[in-house]
C-alpha cells in the first residue's frame, strides 16, 4: 500500500470511529469514558518517558515530575479506598491478577475461582493468566437462579484442595459476594483471599457496592476504566503489608518495566472526580441498571434475577435465547446503534462461548453522559423492538441516534 494512502486511511478510520461512537448508545459493561480534563492530561510528554522503579528511587533520571504525580495519585487512591498499600504501575486488570499469581503462588498450586460460564473472567482460568502461572484452578459452585456463589460448597472445595488463593469477582457481576465468609474459609485453609474488583471499582469508590478490604479481602486487583472512569490500566490495593510486598515484587521487575506514565495524571484526575462525585455517580449508575432491568423485564425480555431486583451493580444480564442467540442479539443491536456484548449466562455450558444464550449490559458510560431512569426505559423499548419485535434495525437506529444526540457532555467531572 502507498504510504500516503495508508496514512490517510489510518486517520480516516480513527476519525470515523470517534464520530460513530459519539452517535451510539454504548452498553458495553467493561467500558467508560474519561472526562475532558482527564483526557487533556493523558496526552502529554509523559507518554514518551520511562520511570523504572519506585518514586524518588528510579533507575532513570528525568523523573522529578512523574515522581510527584505518581505519589499524589497513590495517596489519592489510598484515601479513596481505605487502602494502606496501592500500586499504580499495573497496566491492566489481567496483569494485576497475574502479579498476584506470581507473587503468592507457584506452579502446581491450586486456586478456587468462578468459572467463565458462571460469570468469571478468563484471567481466573487455566486457559488464561492462571494457567500461565501453572495453577490448577477449581471452579466453585454457583447458584444460577440467585446469581451468587454457593459459599457452603466453596468451603467444602477449599477444605478438600487447600488452595493458595481463593479469588472472588466476576466479569458478569450482578450482586456482592460474601467476602466475610470467604475470608473465614481462606484463613482456615491458609489461602489468600483476592477480590477482583475490575467491574465494580467505581461502585466501591462511590460506596454503593461492598467494601472488600474492610470485609476481609487480603488483596484487591482491578482495572481503572469500567465503573471507575479513568484511563485504561490497573491497580493493586491491600492492607496486608506482607502479601502486598510479594505481589509488588512480582509486578516489578517481573511483569512490568515502564508503566506507561501518561496514565497517571489522568488516573489522578479520575480519582479526584470520584472523591467529589463518586457517590452521586455510583448511586445513579445502580438506579439506572435496576430501572433498565425492570423496563426490559416488563417489556417481555427474560432478565436474570428478577426476584432479586435484577442487579445491585451497573450490569444486567438478559437471556435472549427464545428470540435469538446472544450473538445474534448483539449484532442486531449494533446495527441499530446500540453496542453491547454477547455473554454466557450462569449455568450455561462453556462450549457455547461463541453462540451463548444471552447478552450483558452495563449502564455506567451512559450514566456518565447524564442519562437517568427515564432514559433507561427508552433504551429498554429500543432493545425490545430489536430483540422481541425484530423491527428494521435502520428504523430503530434512527431513534437510538436521536436519543443519544441529547447526551453529549460528560457529567460528574471536574473542569480546569
Q: How far apart are CA 410 and CA 35, in angstroms?
A: 6
Structural contact between residues 394 and 385, judged by C-beta atoms closer than 8 angstroms = no
Question: What pLDDT, on the 0 to 100 scale, is given for residue 168?
Answer: 97
Q: Which three cell numbers stand for residue 184?
A: 473465614
Q: Which three cell numbers stand for residue 360?
A: 450483558
- Confidence at 17, pLDDT banded by 50, 70, 90: very high
What domains sit in the chain, N to C, each tagged with a CATH number?
A: 39-270 (3.40.640.10), 278-404 (3.90.1150.10)
Question: What pLDDT, on the 0 to 100 scale, is given for residue 142?
Answer: 92
Question: What pLDDT, on the 0 to 100 scale, is given for residue 162?
Answer: 98
Mean of the pLDDT values across residues 130-143? 95
Return the ∠ at Cα 197 (arms to 194 and 202), rounded to 5°: 150
Question: What pLDDT, on the 0 to 100 scale, is given for residue 317?
Answer: 97
Structural contact between residues 386 and 393, judged by C-beta atoms closer than 8 angstroms = yes
Question: What pLDDT, on the 0 to 100 scale, is given for residue 399?
Answer: 98
DSSP 293-325: HHHHHHTT-EETTGGGTS-SSSEEEEE-TTTS-
- Confidence at 81, pLDDT banded by 50, 70, 90: very high
- Confidence at 303, pLDDT banded by 50, 70, 90: very high
Q: Which three cell numbers stand for residue 27?
A: 452498553
Structural contact between residues 142 and 171, judged by C-beta atoms closer than 8 angstroms = no
Mean of the pLDDT values across residues 351-371? 94
Distances from the Cα of 90 to the Cα of 80, 99, 198, 221, 303, angstroms:
18, 9, 12, 9, 35
Question: What pLDDT, on the 0 to 100 scale, is given for residue 296?
Answer: 98
Mean of the pLDDT values across residues 266-280? 98
| CA nearest to 269, candidates 69, 1, 62, 67 | 69
Residue-wise pLDDT tens digits, 182-230: 999 999 999 999 999 999 999 999 999 999 999 999 999 999 999 999 9
Question: What pLDDT, on the 0 to 100 scale, is given for residue 172?
Answer: 93
**Does the pLDDT value for residue 348 go beyond 90?**
no
Question: What pLDDT, on the 0 to 100 scale, is given for residue 195?
Answer: 98
Q: How far apart are CA 73 and CA 91, in angstroms?
A: 15
pTM of this structure: 0.97
| CA nearest to 313, candidates 168, 194, 167, 208 | 208
Instruction: Express as a percent the part of the chain with pLDDT over 70.
Output: 100
Q: Round the average pLDDT of the chain to a whole number and report it.
A: 97
**Does the pLDDT value for residue 68 go beyond 90?**
yes
Paired sense of beta strands 142-143 and 148-149, if any: antiparallel
Per the rule left: phi > 0, alpha: psi between -120 and 50, beta: everything else, 328 is alpha
Question: What pLDDT, on the 0 to 100 scale, is given for residue 153?
Answer: 95
Mean of the pLDDT values across residues 317-326? 97
Question: What pLDDT, on the 0 to 100 scale, is given for residue 51?
Answer: 96
Residue-wise pLDDT tens digits, 246-264: 999 999 999 999 999 999 9
Mean of the pLDDT values across residues 348-377? 94
**Does the pLDDT value for residue 275 go beyond 90?**
yes
**Does the pLDDT value for residue 9 go beyond 90?**
yes
Question: What pLDDT, on the 0 to 100 scale, is given for residue 246?
Answer: 98
Question: What pLDDT, on the 0 to 100 scale, is given for residue 378?
Answer: 98
| CA nearest to 270, candidates 176, 373, 410, 408 | 410
Question: What pLDDT, on the 0 to 100 scale, is given for residue 117?
Answer: 84
Amino acid at each position: 500500500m502507498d504510504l500516503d494512502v495508508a496514512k490517510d486511511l489510518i486517520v480516516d478510520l480513527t476519525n470515523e470511529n470517534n464520530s460513530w461512537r459519539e452517535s451510539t448508545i454504548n452498553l458495553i459493561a467493561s467500558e467508560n469514558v474519561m472526562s475532558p480534563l482527564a483526557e487533556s492530561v493523558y496526552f502529554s510528554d509523559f507518554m514518551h518517558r520511562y520511570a523504572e522503579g519506585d518514586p524518588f528511587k528510579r533507575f532513570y533520571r528525568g523523573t522529578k515530575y512523574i515522581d510527584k504525580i505518581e505519589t499524589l495519585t497513590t495517596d489519592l487512591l489510598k484515601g479513596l479506598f481505605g487502602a494502606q498499600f496501592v500500586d499504580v504501575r499495573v497496566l491492566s486488570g489481567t496483569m494485576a491478577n497475574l502479579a498476584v499469581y506470581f507473587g503468592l503462588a507457584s506452579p502446581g498450586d491450586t486456586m478456587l475461582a468462578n468459572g467463565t460460564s458462571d460469570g468469571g473472567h478468563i484471567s481466573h482460568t487455566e486457559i488464561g493468566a492462571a494457567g500461565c502461572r501453572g495453577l490448577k484452578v477449581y471452579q466453585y459452585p454457583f447458584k444460577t437462579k440467585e446469581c451468587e456463589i454457593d459459599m457452603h460448597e466453596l468451603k467444602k472445595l477449599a477444605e478438600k484442595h487447600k488452595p493458595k488463593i481463593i479469588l472472588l469477582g466476576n466479569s458478569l457481576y450482578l450482586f456482592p459476594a460474601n467476602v466475610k465468609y470467604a475470608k473465614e474459609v481462606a484463613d482456615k485453609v491458609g489461602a489468600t483471599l483476592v477480590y477482583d474488583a475490575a467491574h465494580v471499582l467505581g461502585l466501591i469508590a462511590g460506596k454503593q457496592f461492598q467494601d472488600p478490604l474492610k470485609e476481609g479481602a487480603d488483596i484487591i486487583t482491578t482495572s481503572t476504566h469500567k465503573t471507575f472512569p479513568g484511563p485504561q490500566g490497573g491497580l493493586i490495593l491491600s492492607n496486608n503489608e506482607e502479601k502486598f510486598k510479594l505481589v509488588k515484587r512480582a509486578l516489578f521487575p517481573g511483569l512490568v518495566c515502564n508503566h506507561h506514565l501518561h496514565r497517571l495524571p489522568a488516573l489522578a484526575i479520575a480519582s479526584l472526580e470520584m472523591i467529589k462525585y463518586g457517590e452521586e455517580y455510583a448511586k445513579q449508575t445502580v438506579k439506572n441498571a435496576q430501572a433498565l432491568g425492570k423496563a426490559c423485564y416488563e417489556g417481555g425480555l427474560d432478565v436474570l434475577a428478577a426476584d432479586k431486583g435484577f442487579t445491585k451493580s451497573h450490569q444486567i444480564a438478559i437471556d435472549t435465547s427464545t428470540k435469538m442467540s446472544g450473538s445474534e442479539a448483539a449484532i442486531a443491536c449494533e446495527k441499530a446503534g446500540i453496542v453491547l456484548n454477547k455473554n454466557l449466562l450462569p449455568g450455561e455450558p462453556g462450549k457455547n462461548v461463541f453462540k451463548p444464550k444471552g447478552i450483558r449490559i452495563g449502564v455506567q458510560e451512559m450514566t456518565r453522559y447524564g442519562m437517568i431512569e427515564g432514559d433507561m426505559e427508552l433504551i429498554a423499548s429500543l432493545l425490545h423492538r430489536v430483540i422481541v419485535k425484530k423491527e428494521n434495525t435502520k428504523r430503530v437506529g434512527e431513534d437510538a441516534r436521536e436519543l443519544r444526540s441529547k447526551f453529549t457532555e460528560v457529567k460528574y467531572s471536574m473542569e480546569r
